[in-house]
Amino acid sequence: MMKSFLNVQDLGDLKQALAEAQEIKSDRYKYVELGKNKTALLVFFNNSLRTRLSTQKAALNLGMNVIVLDVNAGAWKLETERGVIMDGDKSEHLLEAIPVMACYCDMIGIRSFAGLTDREYDYAETVYNQFVKYSGKPVFAMETATVHPLQAFADLITIEENWKNSQLSTLNSQLRPKVVLTWAPHPKSLPQAVPNSFAEWMNAADVDFVITHPEGYELDPKFVGDARVEYDQKKAFEGADFIYAKNWSCPGVTRPADYGKILHDYHMMTNWTVDAEHMSWTNNAKFMHCLPVRRNMIVTDDVIEAPTSLVIPEAANREISATVVLKRILQSL
Ligand code: AN0
Ligand code: CP
């Protein structure tokens, strides 16, 4: 039964989930009767292009109704912490808002990024868990404080499709692709949700997985799992079949005081930007990024525009991952 979608385990058998993704991809309206007279509410505390559109599209594929709420554009500003005296700019508390929102829908999607100031608050998934606890409805993550599972699932679908289509894998079906998650520079502090989920999902998949980043950016061990961490980016890239670039701020694992910080001026880190030379170290790897991406910070124009770039197919697969997840939730109602 799917009452919550946060982690890879929530999908059960991954091979089965990937097979369902292919089924949906070949006929995305196959389950259009399933969602009749059911309503999905999508709640955004933060900006979004892909998640907003692909999750709405997924709900429409399933014949559902969709309501989208941008909390910061027209709703009352919401207090999220219990016990505060509400004499500031926040007019309503999440503890009333959640059960009210739940009255109007059958499932709720939440986008609520990490605040990046209080590691414990973020890593306890405080906001998401309040929705689970007080809505009484199935809740799914559309990037929460620490995870972005709809993205990681779409990334896995993309890797599987592109690996199956590559010549090497048909020559030897035992061969596993080498997938490298690489940190890249960015001018602002970003959450760890995307790399956390990507690591979690790659560890659960049948791939050879390596993570590379400058020292100090170690991800939480619960997401790193048994993955190999290689601080030398060139060594990590050698023989790679897929390069997955992403910036993240300090996860505060080795130095909790640095949580959410940028450890070095980004001008000093441009040698981590993925350019043609970086890609030349690989096994003609495909380039991946969840988007939105800052060109010539994370990746150069030529690499993201090359035929080996998968950024658009990845975004397209967000519709597929969301359709599978919403379908599973509908089936559990
Ligand atoms: C967000 C992040 O890094 O988590 C969303 C990525 C899907 N990115 C930005 O805020 C630029
Ligand atoms: N990749 C992703 O989640 O994009 P948005 O932030 O635009 O939804």
Given a cut of 80, is residue 28 above it in pLDDT? yes
Instruction: Decide: 63 and 36 in contact? Cβ < 8 Å.
Output: yes
User: If pLDDT is split at 50, 70 and 90, which confidence band does 3 have?
Assistant: confident
CA dist 261 and 190 (Å) reads 9
Question: What percent of the chain has pLDDT above 70?
Answer: 97
Mean local confidence (pLDDT), 59-71: 97
Of the bound ligands, which one is closest to the alpha carbon of residue 318?
A: 2
Nearest to 144 by CA among 92, 189, 192: 192
List 5's β-bridge partners, or say none: 140
| Contacts of residue 145, Cβ cutoff 8 Å, sequence gap at least 6 | 112, 113, 114, 115, 121, 122, 123, 125, 126, 127, 128, 191, 193
Mean local confidence (pLDDT), 204-224: 97
- Structural domains in the chain? 4-147+318-332 (3.40.50.1370), 149-315 (3.40.50.1370)
Which atom of ligand 2 is found nearest the CA of 52?
8
CA dist 230 and 242 (Å) reads 16
Predicted pLDDT of residue 264: 95
Mean local confidence (pLDDT), 284-296: 98
CA dist 163 and 242 (Å) reads 9
Ligand 1 proximity of 194 Cβ (cutoff 6 Å):
yes
> Higher confidence at residue 143 or residue 169?
143
Ligand 1 proximity of 149 Cβ (cutoff 6 Å):
no
Mean local confidence (pLDDT), 328-332: 97
Token code pair at residue 109: 């999607």
Token code pair at residue 181: 């998650």
The residue whose CA is least distant from atom 5 of ligand 1 is 292
Ligand 1 proximity of 187 Cβ (cutoff 6 Å):
no
Given a cut of 90, is residue 261 above it in pLDDT? yes
Instruction: List C-alpha distances in Å: 138 to 321, 323, 333.
Output: 17, 15, 8
Which atom of ligand 2 is found nearest the CA of 290?
1
Mutational pocket test of ligand 1: of 113, 122, 192, the residue with most ligand atoms within 8 Å of the beta carbon:
113
Residue 83 Cα to ligand 2 middle (Å) = 32
Q: Which contacts (CB < 8 Å, 24+ apart) does range 68-74 have?
A: 68/41, 68/42, 68/44, 69/41, 69/42, 69/43, 69/44, 69/101, 70/44, 71/43, 71/44, 71/45, 72/44, 72/45
Predicted pLDDT of residue 79: 94
User: If pLDDT is split at 50, 70 and 90, which confidence band does 174 have?
Assistant: low
Residue 73 Cα to ligand 2 middle (Å) = 18
User: If pLDDT is split at 50, 70 and 90, which confidence band does 164 have?
Assistant: confident
Ligand 1 proximity of 191 Cβ (cutoff 6 Å):
yes
Residue 31 Cα to ligand 2 middle (Å) = 25
Predicted pLDDT of residue 173: 57
Residue 292 Cα to ligand 2 middle (Å) = 6
Mean local confidence (pLDDT), 191-218: 98
Ligand 2 site residues, Cβ closer than 6 angstroms: 48-51, 143, 151, 290-292
Mean local confidence (pLDDT), 189-198: 98
Mean local confidence (pLDDT), 194-199: 98
Question: What percent of the chain has pLDDT above 90?
Answer: 94
Report the predicted TM-score, pTM, of the whole model to 2 decimal places. 0.97
User: If pLDDT is split at 50, 70 and 90, which confidence band does 168 have?
Assistant: low
Given a cut of 60, is residue 112 above it in pLDDT? yes
